[in-house]
Structure 1
Amino acid sequence: MTMFWILAAIMVVVSLGVLVRPLLAVKAPAIDDTAQTNLRVLRDAMAELDAELAAGELTAEQHAQARTELERRALEETADDDTRPSSAAPRGARASALALAVLVPATAVLLYAQLGDRRGLDPVLAQPPAHATAADIDTLVQRLADRMKADPADPQGWLLLGRAYAGLQRFDEARDAYREAMQRMTPDANLLADYADVLAMTQGRTLAGEPEKLVLQALTLDPDHLKSLALAGSAAFERGDPKAALAHWTRAKALAPPDSPFAGGLDPGIAEARAAAGLPADAPAPVPPTPAASAGGLQVSVRLDPALAGQLQPGDTLFVFARAAEGPRMPVAIARLPATAEPVQVTLDDSSAMMPAMRLSGQARVVVGARVSRTGNATPQPGDLEGESVPVAPSGTVELQIDRVRR
């Protein structure tokens, strides 16, 4: 599918959403069904757009332009909801979720091209469409901020707001919005890397401390996450470890499309890291370090209920996690691996922590869970396959069966 057809499909879906929802405002179930259908189509189209970039079928500039247009439309859709007739059901959370499904920060791809430099944290604000002024964008973002004040429980709205603020280089506000999102959802590699990025900007453009910890947590979830690899290299270079920086940047370059601006942007940093490490240009790069496992922890055996085996699809992702039996539902340890119908063994310990202040070893009792994700997103979605244990001690062995479908 070409970029034209992707954008055409998005425009049609958004237009239908604008026209149909007011007309069916008194039929709440029909509205929900339409929104869910639109949301699935939008997510599929955005995934295909990302796939075309990864395959080299789109340039970074084409990809950024397409997503910039989607960002504008998503924000306009969010703003337009304020003027539509209200239904009996709450509207704020649904509107924010729909906006998030199509909003990916327009700066992301262009920022990647800068990350080969060890100081590659300078923000690059993608140009909006010619007919949208800076004042228009500020107004749309302010409307979203006002909506989040009225409906602060919506985590995806905070995520959308954080990305919008980051694109406007309002990093203090972006940090606060990302922090709200982190407290309300299970963070994935994208959220952790983006939060680390803006946090670094608020502390003098350095990744030292909390930003680097967030980046390493992102790599625990997804070792091939390009932005996290690039940021990890920058952090290593900052603290005087050029060999670790070289390892991260070289891995990122190997994973990126060969002719992409991102891959080319890494070359100056790689050359500088080689020189600083005293390595000749043709010497093999070091292997990226992996987090050391802590003593003890949980040995988790996960198996899929045979009755659900037929629902397993190629490319599904298995998340195995532990959360406090009492308190926040954010995992204190998590592992990600390809989903399979065969039983798997997973170790959860402090090296699997999502947040430095929330570790497995600090819990009295935990609930261990496993979930097969269709999208690879750590946030639970309807249709995921899942199972949980009763509360157990944070060490020892646990046998877990995935035996239900999330509704």
Structure 2
Amino acid sequence: MMFWIVLALMTAAVSLSVLVAVSRARHAPLREENDIEVFRQQLAEVEDDLRTGAVSAEMAEAARTEISRRLLAAKREADGRAANQPASQRAWGLRVAAIVAMPVLALGLYFLVGAPGVPDQPLAERQAQLNRNPDINQLIARTEEHLAQNPDDVQGWMVLAPVYARQGAYDKAEAAYAQAIRIAGPTPALELARAEMLIFQQQGTVTAEAEAMLKRVTTAAPEQAKPRFYLALALTQQGQTAAAITAWRDLLADANGDEPWVAAARAQLNTLTDQSGSSIVSGQETAPTEAKPDEPRGPTREDIEAAQDMTVQDRQAMVAGMVAQLETRLAEDGGSVQEWSRLVRSLIVIGEEQRAQDALAAARTAFDGDAEAEAQLDGVAQALGLN
């Protein structure tokens, strides 16, 4: 209630001060009216001087003529000012209306977009709230500043690296894990985390450096499934089909079946065994089937639904690895126009526009002269906004 009382008093004070100023300006005497009164007094004084003999008749006549001329000029100016008086009155009325309307409009706008029911938020309380819930970027900046002054603080690097990873700054996360390894030594956990960051930097491709670290992790901790998953993915990407099938089968054989990576492993194994003439579905081997030449190969709907339980990073690695595998196979062995179209779309989805352009160009070269295939590729390019 006190807020509204203060607001009303402030509004009234401002409005009254403006109204008083406008009213004084309106009722102030005009300069021409003052001049006319002065000239009339001067004429009366000339007549008095003439009666008393203070001035001669000739001087009195000359004075009367000059004063009368000035009096007429002042009257003409006063008459012209009076002719414009209605417009001035209208302008004054508009000013008064504006002064009254502004508080009303301001109050209405406050009720529309304001929050009169929200309690006060003193500066000290807001600052304390910021200190209790600091921005993540501020925390990162503080940690970076601390590590710049204390580069051998292994705990600081181990805290900062996962934060970088969650923000998608995989290069910074990899560098932070490298610093932790430099200080604390190469432990399986640190080398696995660093290898993952190297893989994520390459959109799911297992690099030679990452593979070497994963092998060391597997030797030190053979019970861990994640490094074996990436090593099987590396074999798949390198085109070592037989070794990759064995690696995927061994990995799935040791799984409970409810791990988040099982769907991705089965999808990879299905693709490899399909290429080699047999099929593994849900971990069970079936008789070889003849694949349709134009049917795109990939994970089943069940595999895709199961992949929803994976972490974002694992799912990104799975998708990028499968796209890289399809890209390698089509570049080496060729494929149907549907498979090329799927590759182009997949590359766009993972943000590899230049690779999608290159794949589209390779597909057009492969199907040069095939009007139907070229028309389908043109439709894909148009839908994706590619050249």
Fold agreement, TM-score > 0.5? no
TM-score by length of 2: 0.35
Relative contact order: is structure 1 or structure 2 higher (C-alpha 8 Å, sep ≥ 6)? Answer: 1
More strand by share: 1
TM-score by length of 1: 0.34
